[in-house]
Structure 1
Amino acid sequence: MDEYISGRIVNMPQNILNSYNKTKRAGSHAEVNALNEALLARKGANIDEFMIHVISTKGLGPSIPRAGIPMPRCQHCEYITNGSNYYPEVLKYGK
């Protein structure tokens, strides 16, 4: 695992770690795995050189009724991928 990613997981504040429980563990979502692979493939790259697009793979309720819809990151992923570019952050705020 890339040092940046593992460091963010290990040093995640308890309040963020406890704020989300719809996952196997912090760092298990696709956007973290993809960013980790990209950082490993491009040694020496900075986190802000990467753009993250999060798209649903299935319907998740009224706000994300089917696969293929852009969606916000969970609290864990937002913390772990902090510093990268993310599209579409506006979904998080409902704008």
Structure 2
Amino acid sequence: MGKYLIANHDCWYTGISLAQSHIDYALNVMCKGNKRVKIVKQDYRDIEQKFDRIFFVGVSEHFGREYYRLFFETVHENLKKDGGFCAAYRLRQHHSSAC
């Protein structure tokens, strides 16, 4: 998603991950040499920056439902006023009806 955004929009991109393999891919393949890209190895709960837009792709699979509220509160705290949020994730085929 970051590669597309940088290629097609006049924007700055900050990628956040704890996975070194994701960071290496982003730095060496996806965004090599692009000054508008910053990749950070950090827990999302420790981010102290405000963003115009927040996208998350495939994150909810890595933490349990008990952390959903904390995650969305953190997103809310890190969005600028009138900012936007987009989530992309797969629902399990036999997910509970509480979703």
The structure number with the bigger radius of gyration is: 2
TM-score (norm 2): 0.29
Higher relative contact order (CA 8 A, sep 6+): 1
TM-score, with structure 1 as normaliser: 0.30
Identify the structure with the greater strand proportion.
2
